Amino acid sequence: MAECLRFICRACGKNIESWSDGNPYYIDASVGKQYAHHPDHERLAICTGNDAPHLCLTCGNEFVVDSSAPIKHCPECSSLNIADTFHLSGRHCPVCPAGYFEIDPDFGCIS
């Protein structure tokens, strides 16, 4: 079961949707990286890695961190202040100086 959350900054309205399991993938010998998503349990079972969506809390860039070659900084501005988008609650909004992310209680879905 995968869960989807939306984080929202009440100050500027910036919001980000995130799945609890990121983007699981497996390597297909002929075509390369293939993503598997719920409810495709057969392909999920052979996944060997995950491209986890991240947000740069300095410049607001969204990117993925590959579990097989993880990076610790933003590819755009080199900031170390990055966060997994599923764990944004209470983190500083990169768009406005005063905002914080919180879970949007009006949003939620399950796959």
102's CB contacts (< 8 A; 6+ apart) are: 7, 8, 9, 10, 89, 90
If one asks whether residue 76 binds Zn ion (CB under 5 A), the answer comes out as yes
Among 4, 36, 59, 65, binds Zn ion (CB under 5 A): 59
Q: Does 11 help bind Zn ion (rule: CB under 5 A)?
A: yes
Stretch that binds Zn ion, among 12-20, 31-39, 44-52, 62-70 (CB under 5 A): 12-20
Choose, by CB under 5 A, the member of 5, 7, 8, 9 that binds Zn ion: 9
CA distance 65 to 50: 8
